[in-house]
Each structure stands twice: as C-alpha cells, then as structure tokens.
C-alpha cells in the first residue's frame, strides 16, 4: 500500500522537473531570439545611417559642439549631392577623422569668394545661415568627382578654401537631423541657396 501511494507523488515531481526544464529552455530561446533581433536591427540601421557628434565650432550657428547628428548613408546612393547639403566625409587632412561641412561647389563649378560673398558660376549664394561673411578671397574650379565644401562659421573653419577638394567617394552621407540634446532637436534643411542674381 505504501509503495502504491508514493507513485503519484513521483510522477508529479517528474512532471514538475520537466516543466521547469521546458520553461528554462523557453527563456533561453527568448533571450537568444531577442539578442539576434537586436543585432540585426543594429547592423541594419548602421548600414543606412550614422550618428555623428559635432566636435568643433566650424558649423556654427547651424551646428554646435556637442550636438549629435543623424546622417543618411543612402542619400547619395538614391540621389545626387546638391549645393547647400550638409555632409559628413572622411577628412582629407586627418586620417581616421570625419568632418561635417556644407557643399558649396559641385564637379565643374567655378567657386569664387570675393568681398564677403560666395559665387558659384557667377551666381551669388544666399547664405543667411552664416555666422559671418568670409574675410578671405579666392577662386576654385571643382574637378570631376570632387566637391568644394565650407563651414558655416566661415572664418573659423578648416575646409576647402584651406586644403582643397573632397573626393565624392569619401562622403559618408547627408546630415538630416540634430537628435541630441532633445531640446536642440532640429530637422536640417538643405535649401536652394543659389541666387538668380549674377555677378
């Protein structure tokens, strides 16, 4: 009688143990599934966008030091660079570093800076985003597969007027949003800045 009465209790313990192992397997599977999904999302997002921290004053007052910017890596796979675009690119003068500047000249353009104004193919640029007008002068013809870029803080920017042109294939992408700090959240506009007025 005693042996017969203990059998249901043993069966119950075996079922509890199986249930416990099954629950543990399910938890481990859920964790693995979540990690895989997170990695897929991370690398997927990383393939189409970049996050960049502004590290100097060269783009003030448009961008300030310490702000974080979301960059579209697909922008120039799906379209073409335009004058006025803010872009991130691998710095020609500092290997391993990225710069953020505004496109002023495209391949074939003649860029001229004179009397505090910037002209592209004799058309004056409307640049109401500038900190100050440039206090330098110069003239550049943009080669094929290159871009001419300037910082919005013209007189405190290391850019094309100092070291030359940016290879198109070194462009990471177009800056689209300031996302941090939250109170500085801004969608970055890329206006048509070429005036109808000729020099």
* Known catalytic residue at 58: yes
- Lookup: tokens for 17: 């143990």
Residue 69 pairs in a beta bridge with 52, 178
Region for 141 from its dihedrals, namely left if φ exceeds 0, alpha if ψ lies in -120 to 50, beta otherwise: beta
Question: What is the DSSP secondary structure assignment for residue 184, as one 8-state letter?
Answer: G
Which one of the listed residues 101, 112, 146, 157 is annotated catalytic?
101
- CA atoms within a 13 Å half-sphere pointing along the CA-CB vector of 150: 29
Number of C-beta neighbours around residue 74 at 10 A:
12
Q: How many residues does the chain have?
A: 199
* 23 a catalytic residue: no
Helix (H, G, I), strand (E, B) or coil at 177: strand
* The two structure tokens encoding residue 159: 């850019």
Catalytic site residue from 6, 22, 23, 58 = 58
DSSP 8-state class, residue 181: S
Phi, psi of 114, rounded to the nearest 5 degrees: -155, 130
Contact 106, 142 (CB under 8 A): yes
Instruction: List the one residue out of 157, 188, 192 whose CA is nearest residue 175.
Output: 188
- Could you give the residue numbers annotated as active site? 58, 101
């Amino acid at each position: 009688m005693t042996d017969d009465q203990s059998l249901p209790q043993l069966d119950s313990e075996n079922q509890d143990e199986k249930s416990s192992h099954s629950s543990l397997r399910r938890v481990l599977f859920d964790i693995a599934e979540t990690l895989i999904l997170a990695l897929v999302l991370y690398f997927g997002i990383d393939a189409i966008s970049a996050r960049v921290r502004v590290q100097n004053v060269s783009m003030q007052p448009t961008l300030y030091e310490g702000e974080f910017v979301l960059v579209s890596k697909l922008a120039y796979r799906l379209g073409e660079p335009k004058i006025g675009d803010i872009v991130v690119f691998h710095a020609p003068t500092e290997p391993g570093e990225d710069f953020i500047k505004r496109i002023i000249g495209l391949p074939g353009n003649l860029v001229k800076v004179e009397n505090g104004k910037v002209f592209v193919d004799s058309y004056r640029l409307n640049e109401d985003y500038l900190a100050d007008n440039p206090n330098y002068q110069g003239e550049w013809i943009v080669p094929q597969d290159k871009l001419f870029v300037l910082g919005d803080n013209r007189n405190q920017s290391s850019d094309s007027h100092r070291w030359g042109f940016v290879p198109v294939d070194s462009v990471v992408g177009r800056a689209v949003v300031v996302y941090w700090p939250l109170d500085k959240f801004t969608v970055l506009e890329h206006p048509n800045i070429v005036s109808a007025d000729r020099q």
